A = this chain, B = another copy of it.
Amino acid sequence: MELEEGKHKFIQSWGTLGSHWGINRTMAQIHALLLISNGPLSANDIKEGLNISMGNTNMNIRALIDWGLVYKELIPGERKDFYVAEKDMWEVVRRIVTQRKKKELEPLTRVLNELQKVEGDDEETQEFKKVVKDIHLFSGKANTALENLVRSDSKWFIGTFMKMIK
């Protein structure tokens, strides 16, 4: 396999994976391109590298910076902005978990909380509250677990995790 073909395949695969992880395809492809480029790329390099419009490039770079998956790097003497990818996969996972926790788990928790307030002491209401409470409890646990995961150090975590579970 040629290097160029390999790079292309990598970008495609990373894009596909990303699109299942709340990162849209282009966003993930930009990240992939930066991962395998040697050195920082400008918005224009990215636009040309992926054959996408400038608007699209700009939007998605900003989203990536927002997620903490890409950093802006200023090169002395250069007019343009340059960008580099976060290359530590553990950090990438942490950033994604952090974002998604905030955007998904927290809103759910808020709703479940509210739902405890439904009125009525008939059996149907009690049953409903029970289901909601169960889920609420579970998502509380999930939230704590993920918070710890995000806080923990990668080597330690993976090491311990792997041994413990088994």
Chain A contact residues, CB within 8 Å of chain B: 1-3, 5-7, 9-10, 13, 16-17, 20, 22, 35-36, 38, 87, 89-90, 93, 100, 103-104, 107-108, 111-112, 114-115, 117-120, 124-125, 127-128, 131-132, 134-135, 138-139, 141-142, 144-145, 148-149, 152, 157-158, 160-162, 164-166
The 8 closest A-B pairs by CB, nearest first: A6-B118, A148-B165, A89-B138, A13-B111, A1-B118, A6-B115, A1-B117, A3-B125
CB-CB < 8 A to A117: which residues of B?
1
CB-CB < 8 A to A20: which residues of B?
22, 100, 103-104
Docked Cα-Cα span, A25 to B20, in Å, equals 15
Are A131 and B17 neighbours in the complex by a CB distance under 8 Å?
Answer: no
Are B89 and A120 neighbours in the complex by a CB distance under 8 Å?
Answer: no
CB-CB < 8 A to A3: which residues of B?
118-120, 124-125, 128
Are A166 and B148 neighbours in the complex by a CB distance under 8 Å?
Answer: yes
Are A141 and B160 neighbours in the complex by a CB distance under 8 Å?
Answer: no
